[in-house]
Chains A and B, each alone.
Chain A
Amino acid sequence: NAGVTQTPKFQVLKTGQSMTLQCAQDMNHNSMYWYRQDPGMGLRLIYYSASEGTTDKGEVPNGYNVSRLNKREFSLRLESAAPSQTSVYFCASSLEAWNYGYTFGSGTRLTVV
């Protein structure tokens, strides 16, 4: 019962580098989400995928792209990392978008220097 698995757990990037954060769930959930968490800001939605084959922008999508590779996997890509993207990134999934019973991964702590 792994739930939501995120890789890597930690990453340091130089400004301008690119990377992809991976997320996979094994609960047969239809909807998946990427959030970023910054001190004093709570969680802010970056992108989400209500179902396989669809993706939509959330509150703070600039500088990010996503791919819903299949029902299990939803990746987040930073094409040209900036210091403002230093954050903790969480992936979550839910059975359906309207269900809201989100299961969260343990997060990726990203530092851009």
Chain B
Amino acid sequence: AQSVTQPDIHITVSEGASLELRCNYSYGATPYLFWYVQSPGQGLQLLLKYFSGDTLVQGIKGFEAEFKRSQSSFNLRKPSVHWSDAAEYFCAVGARSGGSNYKLTFGKGTLLTVNP
């Protein structure tokens, strides 16, 4: 079964600083990988996804992520963080779990605090 690990529960960065959120996955085949963002009191919004092809994917709000098969990682990056980026970020892996069942498994999330 697939699994997702987000090693950092809480990260604090200063506005304008660069950001990298870590994500490691476990899955036997090529995974489908996602990053979602959740603002307080809101549902989850898709930032970006990787299905195949170019291992560096661009998303909304200036985010990008790089798939590294050798490290089983899919880290999220942003060159310059804005105060509005403060939120909780979830990495997820999508995989077939038998027959026609497709399952999206989420990590436990990383809470991002942005200092002015």
Residue of A90, A97, A107 touching B102 (CB-CB under 8 A): A97
Which chain A positions have C-beta within 8 A of B104?
33, 45, 100, 102
- Inter-chain contact total with CB atoms closer than 8 Å: 54
Residue of B44, B90, B101 touching A50 (CB-CB under 8 A): B101
Residues from 82 to 109 in B contacting A, C-beta threshold 8 Å? 90, 94, 96, 100-109
6 tightest A-B CB contacts, nearest first? A104-B43, A42-B108, A100-B94, A43-B106, A97-B102, A42-B106
- A92 and B43 CA atoms in complex are apart in Å by 9
- A41-65 near B? 1/0 per residue, CB < 8 Å: 1111100001000001010000000
Are A45 and B107 touching (Cβ within 8 A)? no
Which chain B positions have C-beta within 8 A of A104?
43-45
Residues on A lying within 8 angstroms of B by beta carbon are: 4, 33, 40-45, 50, 56, 58, 90, 92, 97-98, 100-107
Are A50 and B100 touching (Cβ within 8 A)? yes
Shortest CB distance B44–A (Å): 4
B96 nearest CB neighbor, chain A only: A98
Shortest CB distance B102–A (Å): 4
Task: Decide yes or no: A42 and B43 within 8 Å by CB, A97-B100, A100-B102 being known contacts.
Answer: no
Are A98 and B44 touching (Cβ within 8 A)? no
Are A41 and B43 touching (Cβ within 8 A)? no
Which chain B positions have C-beta within 8 A of A33?
104
Shortest CB distance A91–B (Å): 9
Which chain B positions have C-beta within 8 A of A58?
103
Are A40 and B108 touching (Cβ within 8 A)? yes
Task: Decide yes or no: A45 and B42 within 8 Å by CB, A100-B32, A100-B49 being known contacts.
Answer: no
Which chain A positions have C-beta within 8 A of B94?
98, 100
- A90 and B44 CA atoms in complex are apart in Å by 9
